[in-house]
Structure 1
Amino acid sequence: MAKYLMLKHYRSTSKSLDCAPMDQWTPEEVSAHIQYMRDFGAKLTETGEFVDAQGVAQEGTWVRYDGEGRPPVTDGPFAETKDLIAGWMVIDVDSYERAVELAGELSAAPGPGGEPIREWLELRPVMSEPPTVRE
């Protein structure tokens, strides 16, 4: 088994989606999208492939060690971007191919009019400790 992170991005422009940005959806369309996400997670729980998932707020803060005990804090995530992290899901699957298959299914979450939004998802393997040899 290998763990993968499926990272969802929220884009306030429709350049990368086949639909209007979410802030232009009806409340019913937003609810249908969220229910799809819940149902998808429940299905993966049944197959034993679900690890965790969370949505994240659009607001954020950057913090960095400054060497003097008072970390600087700035607004974030990126003031100049229209692409924000919307949420993530960690899955534990048998293969990279299965991870790609599930990411494709998640990309079909409904948007305006119930049509699949066909969003791009970032898929990354979760790092783990390298195997050790014991004699």
Structure 2
Amino acid sequence: MKYMIQMNVPADEWDAVMASYSKDDMQVMFAHMNALNAEITERGEWVDAQGLGGPSRVKTVRAGADGQPQVADGPAHAGHILAGYWLVDVASEDRALEIAARASACPGPGGKPGSDPVEVHPVPDAPEGV
């Protein structure tokens, strides 16, 4: 079963959160994530993963009445923004939850585990009812 595992952060805190990481903190965070990615890959569970660039890089698009895209800078909704994700193909939901817990334990500033909330979304093979 495929799952999308998402890390979200408050959009209005993105810059302050990123600024709170020293160069060493960033290296520790990347080492943690790289180890998690290596494990997922070695187990054959890796489908895709990406860290994203924050709210200043987001564009929100709506279809205009004339059929042309209406583009605005920033996220569509105030609140949390997707910071990164993993798409995994695992044997069970329990394994997806285990991966999410490892992602949540990523070291934050000062090396302390962040315990940030991580969402786990099942990705069905087909839409429900089809």
Deviating above 2 A after TM superposition, structure 1's stretches of 4 or more consecutive aligned residues are 20-23, 78-81
Shift of 1:32: 1.2
Question: Gaps (5+ residues) in structure 2?
Answer: none
Q: For 1:64-101, what per-residue CA distance to the aligned partner results, in whole angstroms no more than 9, with x for missing partners?
A: 112413111111114743x2211110111111111111
TM-score between the two structures when normalised by the length of structure 1 = 0.81
- Partner SS state of residue 45, structure 1: helix
Distance 1:24 1:78 in 2: 26
Distance 1:100 1:6 in 2: 9
Match of 2:66 in 1: 68
CA contact 1:22–1:30 (8 Å) conserved in 2: no
Opposite residue 129 of structure 1, the aligned amino acid is: A
Aligned residues: percent identity? Answer: 36
Aligned Cα RMSD in Å? 1.9
1:92 aligns with 2:89: yes
Opposite residue 118 of structure 1, the aligned amino acid is: S
Matched residues, number? 122
Match of 2:104 in 1: 107
Q: For 1:17-61, what per-residue CA distance to the aligned partner results, in whole angstroms no more than 9, with x for missing partners?
A: xxx833212111012112211111011100111111011111211
- Partner SS state of residue 72, structure 1: strand
More helix by share: 2
Distance 2:86 2:43 in 1: 15
CA contact 1:6–1:122 (8 Å) conserved in 2: yes
Q: For 1:97-129, what per-residue CA distance to the aligned partner results, in whole angstroms no more than 9, with x for missing partners?
A: 111111111111111221111010011011212
Question: Gaps (5+ residues) in structure 1?
Answer: 14-19, 131-135
Match of 1:24 in 2: 20
The within-5 A match list for 1:1-135 is 2-11=1-10, 12=13, 21-58=17-54, 59-78=57-76, 80-81=78-79, 83-129=80-126
Distance 1:118 1:72 in 2: 37
